[in-house]
């Protein structure tokens, strides 16, 4: 009996033939691919074309790098000086305001009535003093007022009567008691003149008091309208129209956005070269749309002490922000220009490669690549400073890519 896996010899021979054909086909395809790859690859001894540049001798600014944050020069919370109901609030979050612009108005009805009441009281006091009720001069000559003139007239009459009765008494016609009465009347008249002067001064003081009350009422009327103290932007609105505000209630917060204050933490070892008036170039980290945007400012203040925890010195710069592109509170990195110009050897940044901590450039000698170890310094746009290992005018490969020492190359 035949086993289940038994196949005739003819079937097994056909299966071996098919397997052999598949193997031969695969070997043929692999050989074709190897031939095509060999054709596509350049020959190992063919020189590679490269672009050559010269190391330039130029100048660079010496800078100190620091990080910090932007802050508003001025920020104020506008509070009410008087109590009342909020009637108008023409600004909201982000509203730009100019100095003197109205940002809130309380209901003015009560304040207007108080002004009218104070003005009427002042007019009455001025009328009692004897000056025009609508004038601005509150001082008068007491001797020219009606009250004093009347008292002086009575005093003059009492003097004449006293003189006449004295003459009659001397002639023996008038009794002593009648002369004493005339003398008393004369002294009372003198006292009334003095009283008239005091009354005039009292009325002048009352006019001054009424004038102050009018000014106070006018000031309260003015305080019922809140105005922007400087050019800026509304950072926050605290209330809504219709609410009753007590004295001191917060209404809006205004922040000045031009200029801004840049606060930088300068390392202690670099702080000695920083001075007021030096140029600052800053790059805001929050500017995602234009990360290369650079703003310039000027150092205006330096802290006299070193922070014991961070070993840094606080430096403040003033940065113009007329277009409002910068925002207070944003983080920024900056460079402080401490020296305007310094000689330097400059090469394209693409010519410098760094691998395993070794920085180098590539040159050409006898048609082959050579390596030159260098030390680099400051960057200036698309160029970088070489401080060691390369001299001005030396030729180097601009874009070495994957070149290696000894590889044949040809300059374009």
In this structure, is residue 304 part of a structural domain? yes
Q: Is residue 122 domain-shared with residue 217, that is, in the same domain?
A: yes
Phi-psi region of 97 (alpha: psi -120 to 50; beta: other; left: phi over 0): beta
Question: Are residues 135 and 88 located together in one domain of the fold?
Answer: no
> Based on the domain organization, do 334 and 355 belong to the same domain?
no
Do residues 206 and 125 both lie within one domain? yes
In a domain, 182, yes or no: yes
- In degrees, rounded to 5, the angle at the alpha carbon of residue 401 between the alpha carbons of residues 399 and 407 is 100
Write down the pLDDT at residue 306.
Answer: 92
Residue 70 lies in a domain: no
Round to whole Å and give the CA distance between 204 and 55.
90
Which of 3-7, 30-34, 354-358 is modeled with the greatest confidence? 354-358
Query: Any residues with CB less than 8 A from the CB of 159 and at least 6 apart, and which?
Result: 186, 189
The tally of domains found in the chain comes to 4
Q: Would 140 be classed as within a structural domain?
A: yes
Radius of gyration from C-alpha coordinates of the chain: 50
199 shares a domain with 117: yes
What is the domain extent for residue 131? 109-222
Please give the Cα distance from 113 to 107 (Å, whole number): 12
Residues 155 and 289 in one domain: no
Would you say residue 326 lies in a domain? yes
Indicate if 142 and 229 belong to the same structural domain: no
Backbone angles phi, psi at 335, to 5 degrees: -125, 125
Give the CATH number, domain containing residue 249: 2.40.50.100
How many other CB atoms sit within 10 Å of the CB of residue 319?
22
From the CB of residue 346, how many other CB atoms can be counted at a distance below 10 Å?
Answer: 22
Identify whether the C-beta of residue 225 lies closer than 8 Å to the C-beta of residue 251. Answer: no
Distances (CA, A) of 161 to 125, 137, 166, 181: 36, 39, 8, 10
Residues 232, 300 within the same domain: no
Looking at residue 226, what is its pLDDT?
A: 96
Nearest CA to 301 out of 319, 320, 317 is that of: 317
* One domain for residues 240 and 283: no
Q: How confident is the model at residue 411 (pLDDT cuts 50, 70, 90)?
A: confident
Domain co-membership, 133 together with 264: no
Buried b (16+ CB within 10 A) or exposed e, 362-372: bbbeeeebbbe
Six token digits for residue 296: 């310039």
209-228 pLDDT, tens per residue? Answer: 999 999 999 999 999 999 99
Q: Could you tell me the CATH number of the domain that includes residue 266? A: 2.40.30.170
Cα–Cα distance for residue pair 122/135, rounded to 1 Å: 10
Quick check: is 38 in a domain? no
Residue 316's pLDDT is: 94
Angle among Cα 388, 393, 394 to the nearest 5 degrees reads 65
Per-residue pLDDT band for 292 (boundaries 50, 70, 90) equals: low
How far the first Cα of the chain sits from its last, in Å, is 83
Q: Quick check: is 2 in a domain?
A: no
The reply to whether 23 falls in a domain is no
Statement to judge: residues 184 and 152 lie in one domain: yes
Write a three-state SS string for 212-233.
HHHHHHHHHHHHCEEECCCCEE
- What are 385's strand-pairing partners? 346
Among residues 199, 222, 245, the one where a domain terminates is: 222
CA-CA distance, 395 to 370, in Å (whole number)?
A: 11
**Residue entry with tokens 């009018």:** 214
70 HSE (CA, 13 A, CB side): 30
- Final residue before a domain boundary, out of 296, 322, 340: 340
Q: Residue 144 in contact with residue 196, Cβ under 8 Å?
A: no
Q: Give the end of a domain, one of 311, 340, 369.
A: 340
Is the pLDDT confidence value at 37 over 80?
no
**What pLDDT is recorded for position 286?**
62
Could you tell me if 384 and 368 lie in one domain? yes
Of the pLDDT bands very low, low, confident and very high (cuts 50, 70, 90), residue 133 is low
pLDDT at residue 401 is higher than 70:
yes
């Amino acid at each position: 009996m035949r086993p289940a896996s038994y196949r005739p010899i003819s079937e097994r021979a056909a299966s071996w033939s098919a397997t052999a054909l598949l193997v031969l086909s695969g070997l043929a395809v692999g050989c074709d691919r190897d031939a095509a790859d060999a054709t596509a690859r350049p020959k190992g001894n063919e020189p590679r074309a490269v672009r050559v540049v010269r190391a330039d001798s130029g100048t660079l600014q010496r800078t100190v790098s620091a990080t910090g944050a932007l802050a508003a020069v001025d920020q104020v919370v506008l509070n009410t000086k008087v109590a009342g109901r909020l009637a108008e609030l023409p600004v909201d979050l982000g509203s730009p305001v100019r100095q003197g612009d109205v940002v809130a108005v309380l209901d003015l009805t009560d304040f207007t009535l108080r002004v009218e009441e104070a003005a009427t009281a002042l007019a009455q006091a001025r009328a009692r003093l004897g000056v025009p009720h609508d004038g601005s001069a509150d001082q008068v000559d007491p001797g020219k007022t009606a009250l004093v003139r009347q008292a002086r007239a009575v005093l003059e009459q009492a003097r004449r009567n006293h003189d006449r009765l004295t003459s009659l008494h001397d002639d023996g016609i008038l009794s002593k008691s009648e002369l004493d009465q005339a003398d008393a009347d004369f002294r009372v008249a003198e006292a009334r003149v003095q009283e008239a002067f005091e009354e005039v001064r009292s009325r002048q003081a009352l006019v001054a008091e009424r004038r102050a009350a009018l000014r106070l009422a006018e000031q309260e009327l003015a305080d019922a309208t809140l105005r922007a103290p400087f050019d800026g932007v509304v950072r926050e609105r605290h209330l809504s129209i219709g609410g009753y505000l007590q004295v001191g209630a917060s209404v809006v917060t205004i922040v000045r956005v031009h200029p801004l204050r840049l606060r930088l933490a300068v390392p202690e070892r670099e702080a000695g070269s920083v001075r007021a008036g030096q140029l600052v170039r800053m790059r805001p980290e929050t500017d995602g749309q234009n990360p290369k945007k650079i703003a310039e400012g000027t150092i205006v203040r330096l802290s006299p002490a070193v922070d014991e925890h961070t070993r840094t010195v606080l430096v403040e710069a003033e940065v113009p922000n007329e277009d409002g592109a910068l925002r207070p509170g944003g983080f920024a990195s900056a460079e402080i220009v401490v020296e305007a110009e310094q000689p330097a050897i400059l090469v394209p940044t693409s010519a410098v490669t760094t691998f395993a901590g070794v920085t180098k450039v590539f040159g050409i000698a006898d048609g082959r690549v050579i390596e030159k170890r260098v030390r680099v310094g400051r960057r200036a746009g698309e160029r970088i400073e070489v401080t060691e290992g390369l001299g001005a005018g030396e030729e180097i490969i601009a874009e070495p890519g994957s070149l290696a020492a000894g590889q044949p190359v040809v300059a374009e």
